[in-house]
Structure 1
Amino acid sequence: MKRPGLEPVLLLYTTGGCHLCERAEALLRDAVEAPVGRVEIADDAELLEQYGVRIPVLRRVDTGEELDWPFDAAAVRRLLAVRAA
């Protein structure tokens, strides 16, 4: 999902064994041109507390705006279209 040499525009909060996360990753691969980073929440107690029951969550890096699953390609495009303040 992350394109080499490019800083991620979006972060996907996820964890291993999460079938919804796998679906979100597939959607992002197919529908989004922007670089997407992957954040493993199991490695951080704070992230696990914050996102444990919400994943997959997509977060825009520059604004902090988040999309909780379920989201579709149109919702991701809308998230990317919003101008940073």
Structure 2
Amino acid sequence: GPNGEKTIVQHIHDGEVDLIVNTPYGTGGRLDGYEIRTAAVSRSVPCLTTVQALAAAVQGIDALNHGGVDVRSLQEHAEHLTAARD
């Protein structure tokens, strides 16, 4: 970093990061975001780039923490959603 501290990219390369949430804003964020995503890919670190992806990840983590998840076909999932609305 500018004051000698490690950058997020260095933390990623050092294996100190398990999950990245990167929602770039403006042009400066695009360059940083590219470097962060490239480092994430090189270390196989999951990288969420939208608020919607973060929300889905939170729901998935919450489901795992509270009893797991069921594997269903899309048709079964649609039936479950329809039944829940009725």
TM-score normalized by the length of structure 1: 0.27
Higher normalized strand content (fraction of residues): 1
1 or 2 for the larger relative contact order (CA 8 Å, sep ≥6)? 1
Instruction: Provide TM-score, normalisation by structure 2.
Output: 0.27
